[in-house]
């Protein structure tokens, strides 16, 4: 952890209290944060991102002791999960308190809560006192930022104050679990796996169903580069390697191939994935061809992001 400079945090607190936005580092991706109790500030998040107003935002809080400031009818399992995994990459969807602004929840009767594992942002939350409504700090549908520089790339001159916490450790968005109904359901896969959740939620379901709320991370097109992107096996990678394509492979590039390699390990791959997609998108390549990762459970969240990035790419 880098030393925590005092000035930026007090600047960020002042900006948030004045209704302005602040980009915050978390262990997953950078967030575009507003005071969750200030509907005008929250609306500014939607405007800057270009996100539909009915897609709810996650409220970031300083710890499990703050759950009851936002949620009602909190099941015991939610408290146990917060106790076990917070601060960390797990978002809990709970029944909301009546006073949580509709601007935050997209008019739904639930609220997403998460306590991020980043020293700078935890210090900010402590000093700010309230909750921070924050989606990923990217334009709607695009690749999430995992570095302060990516936030500047996304918003250019419109970039708000950025708290620079360096590169994000985990690199993909939090696991989202809906505990507002029974049985509980995973709405978005992430670093915290189904296996880690099962001891707390034996009847846990996964995948969206007809009763699931809107989750933009579950749109079929999301997390996407502008360059057309597709998945390929190793034979396809070799075939594409002389063709002007930008390759993203596991381990090492084939001879003569242009592009990037990521480690053949799901944690290290997730850490580097979005920066690699951004770098490939910035190269002058005709298409991005990604070597298909293994299909086992450990790679589930990564395969989910890659599939949606392919669908949204080229737009």
Interaction site with ligand TXA (CB under 6 A): 26, 28-29, 31, 55-58, 89, 91, 93, 105, 108, 110-112, 114, 116, 134-136, 173-174, 176, 187, 213-217
Q: How far is the CB of 288 from ligand TXA (least distance, A)?
A: 22
Q: Which is nearer to ligand TXA, 64 or 240 (CB)?
A: 64
Say if CB 101 and CB 31 are below 8 A apart: no
- Residue 227, marked binder: no
* Euclidean distance between CA atoms 121 and 30, whole angstroms: 10
Q: Which is nearer to Mg ion, 140 or 250 (CB)?
A: 140
Compute the 3-state secondary structure of the chain and give helix, strand, coil in percent, each to the nearest 5: 35, 20, 45
Choose which of 105, 121, 136, 174 interacts with Mg ion (CB under 5 A): 136
Q: Which is nearer to ligand TXA, 91 or 227 (CB)?
A: 91
Closest CA to 54 of 171, 173, 140, 144: 140
Q: Which is nearer to Mg ion, 249 or 309 (CB)?
A: 309
* Euclidean distance between CA atoms 75 and 77, whole angstroms: 5
Contact range with Mg ion by CB under 5 A, out of 106-114, 128-136, 155-163, 250-258: 128-136
Q: How far is the CB of 266 from ligand TXA (least distance, A)?
A: 16
105 binds, among ligand TXA, Mg ion, none (CB under 5 to 8 A by kind): ligand TXA
Closest CA to 280 of 305, 262, 294: 262
Q: How far is the CB of 311 from ligand TXA (least distance, A)?
A: 15
* Euclidean distance between CA atoms 244 and 280, whole angstroms: 12
Say if CB 63 and CB 152 are below 8 A apart: no
* Euclidean distance between CA atoms 45 and 34, whole angstroms: 7
Interactions with Mg ion, residue window 245-274 (CB under 5 A): none
Closest CA to 32 of 111, 136, 116: 136
62 binds, among ligand TXA, Mg ion, none (CB under 5 to 8 A by kind): none
Q: Which is nearer to ligand TXA, 58 or 277 (CB)?
A: 58
Q: How far is the CB of 147 from ligand TXA (least distance, A)?
A: 13
- Residue 84, marked binder: no
Q: How far is the CB of 302 from ligand TXA (least distance, A)?
A: 14
Non-local CB neighbours of 277 within 8 Å, separated by 6+ positions: 143, 223, 225, 229, 248, 288, 309
- Residues making contact with Mg ion (CB under 5 A): 136
């Amino acid at each position: 952890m880098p030393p925590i400079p005092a000035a930026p945090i007090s600047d960020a607190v002042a900006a948030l209290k004045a209704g302005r936005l602040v980009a915050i580092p978390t262990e997953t991706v950078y967030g575009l944060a507003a005071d969750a109790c200030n509907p005008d500030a929250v609306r500014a998040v939607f405007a800057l991102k270009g996100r539909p107003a009915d897609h709810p935002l996650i409220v970031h809080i300083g710890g499990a002791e703050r759950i009851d400031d936002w949620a009602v009818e909190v099941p015991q399992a939610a408290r146990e999960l917060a106790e076990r995994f917070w601060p960390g990459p797990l978002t809990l969807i709970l029944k909301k308190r009546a006073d949580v602004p509709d601007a935050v929840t997209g008019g739904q009767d639930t609220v997403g809560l998460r306590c991020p594992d980043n020293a700078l942002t935890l210090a900010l939350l402590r000093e700010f006192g309230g909750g921070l409504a924050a989606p990923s700090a990217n334009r709607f549908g695009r690749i999430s930022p995992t570095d302060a520089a990516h936030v500047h790339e996304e918003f250019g001159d419109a970039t708000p104050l950025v708290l620079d916490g360096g590169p994000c450790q985990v690199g993909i968005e939090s696991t989202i679990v809906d505990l507002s109904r029974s049985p509980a359901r995973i709405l978005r896969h992430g670093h915290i796996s189904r296996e880690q959740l099962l001891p707390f939620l034996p009847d846990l379901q996964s995948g969206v169903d007809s009763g699931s709320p809107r989750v933009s991370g579950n749109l079929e097109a999301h997390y996407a580069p502008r360059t057309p992107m597709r998945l390929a096996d190793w034979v396809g990678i070799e075939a594409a390697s002389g063709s002007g394509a930008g390759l993203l492979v596991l381990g090492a590039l084939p001879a003569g191939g242009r592009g990037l390699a990521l480690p053949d390990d799901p944690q290290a791959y997730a850490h580097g994935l979005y920066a690699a997609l951004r770098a490939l998108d910035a190269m002058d390549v005709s298409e991005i061809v990604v070597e298909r990762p293994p299909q086992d459970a450990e790679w589930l969240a990564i395969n989910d992001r890659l599939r949606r990035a392919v669908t949204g790419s080229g737009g």
